Amino acid sequence: MADFQGMVITQQGLQLLAKAQTGVTLEITRAAVGSGEWPDGQDPEAMADLVHEEMSLAIQGMEVQSGGVTRLTVLLTNSGLQQGFFIRELGVYANDPQAGEILYTVAYAGDKYDYVPAAGTPFEKVFDIYIVTANASEVTAQIDPSVMLALKSDFDAHNADPEAHPPLRQACIDTVAAHNEDPDAHQALMESRELTTNTTIYVSLNGDDLHGDGSEQNPFRTHHRAIVHLSRYRVLRAGVATISTPEGGVFEYDQALYVHHPDYIVINLHGSGAGDGSGGTTCLRFTGCNGLEAFSPLYIQGMRIESDAPDYTGLICNRGDFVLGDRYDPARIVEIVGWKVGVSAQNKGGHLAVNGVQVLDFDQIGIRALYGSSVIVRGAPGAVLIDADTVGGTTPEGTIGLLATHLGQMFREHTVTIQHCELPISADAGSQII
């Protein structure tokens, strides 16, 4: 979750709080998160709304505590979310009898934001917000009964109650006891523990997401299914999990691939060679969405990642190590074709190593480092090519080959070939390309 430094009561909130000391009910209506970036010097007390609200959060529970503080329990879920966003701001709204709904208290995470993916990647968080309610005579909250979820503490209290479903409890005890006496009972669990430790999951155009198991004999049909399959297993020791497409072909997707493993295992996305899908090469073609977004270590080798329209970003490194290509093996080069931004490292925890890549026919930026991220271009001489227009050979207006901005850092160990870009390299104040 984003790291908010503390809720600040707004001027409208202070006025409502003063009314609450005289007997007016302090009614909390909802919480909300936003992606807005606050300008330098922004006074949170003067705010009447979030800069850019993205989503309202359902209130699940409320507890008035000692010291004039109230705890709100809220649910954040990406169900139905069309496009992911960065959480930078958090607000709590309340009902003022005269002014209507007002922004009661607000907080900003700055560069310690978090990311909420679109609905294609399951995402739910239950968390607490602490707000000042002082000596308000009555504090209430509009609780949405349609999304009530039991917290772990609720389950613990229920399970500790000896009167909670006694027949079911005894049946469970008997079933578990019989299961544990079976010497073959835990074979599947033992296999799953080793699944993501130096293993390979296969994807093929002839595969099956419903009935496949990711083996070479019974592969999955999509990379989405392979990534979800890996994320379900815990890892007992460090390793690398490879998602391989040895037969190549064109894999068409209308949702971004979100790569995240809870144990931070390295996932190696391995193709059969970069190309348009013919001749055994591997091509991932995206329509109306970003390409790949990594929140844990990801290596990509031997494939093309292309877009049907230059409105999105091909590869996004949010967190962890992101490695592209092999500096000494041309067969493992990565082609990124037809994007608005080819490659973007955009989080302080993101580290991108460019070993062998061709960023081609992009609309704005080839490779970008921003928000404190670092990019190392360390391919062998000639292994990195950035070309904004390979078809017409023109120089599109506004194109930038390498860009470092918002404290982004970029380091080059070898010469990078940059062609048909209005600005080959660009870095703003506080960022650098060396």
Burial class (CB within 10 angstroms; exposed 0-12, middle 13-18, buried 19+) of 215 = exposed
pLDDT at 380: 66
Q: pLDDT digit string (tens) for 306-357?
A: 998 778 888 888 766 778 777 667 778 889 999 999 988 877 666 777 878 8
- Using left for φ > 0, alpha for ψ between -120 and 50, and beta otherwise, residue 75 falls in beta
pLDDT at 224: 86
Strands 266-270 and 298-301, sheet pairing: parallel
Give the three-class secondary structure for 135.
coil
- List all residues 6 or more positions away from 413 whose beta carbon is below 8 Å from its beta carbon: 376, 377, 378, 379
In this predicted model, which residue has the larger pLDDT, 381 or 340? 340
Q: Does residue 230 surpass a pLDDT of 60?
A: yes
Q: What are phi and psi of 191, to 5 degrees?
A: -65, -40
Q: Looking at the chain, how many residues does it have?
A: 434
pLDDT at 176: 64
Q: What is the mean pLDDT of residues 8-27?
A: 87
Q: What is the mean pLDDT of residues 373-379?
A: 78
In percent, how much of the chain has pLDDT > 90?
Answer: 18
Answer yes or no: pTM beyond 0.75: no
- Burial pattern 26-39, b for ≥16 Cβ within 10 A else e, equals bbbbbbbbbbbbbe
- List all residues 6 or more positions away from 424 whose beta carbon is below 8 Å from its beta carbon: 400, 401, 402, 418
In this predicted model, which residue has the larger pLDDT, 239 or 431? 431
pLDDT at 182: 54
Q: pLDDT digit string (tens) for 241-287?
A: 788 898 999 999 988 888 876 665 678 888 888 888 788 889 999 99
* Stretch among 52-61, 176-185, 222-231 having the lowest mean pLDDT: 176-185
> What 8-state DSSP symbol labels residue 380?
P
> What 8-state DSSP symbol labels residue 9?
E
pLDDT at 308: 84
DSSP track, 74-88:
EEEE-TT-SS-EEE-
pLDDT at 116: 86
Q: pLDDT digit string (tens) for 87-98?
A: 889 999 999 999
pLDDT at 434: 81
CA distances for 246 relative to 195, 203, 279, angstroms: 19, 8, 12
Q: Does residue 22 surpass a pLDDT of 60?
A: yes
pLDDT at 147: 45
Q: pLDDT digit string (tens) for 132-190?
A: 877 666 777 766 554 444 444 555 565 666 666 666 666 666 676 665 555 455 444 43
In percent, how much of the chain has pLDDT > 70?
Answer: 79
Tell me the average pLDDT of the chain.
Answer: 80
Q: Does residue 301 surpass a pLDDT of 50?
A: yes
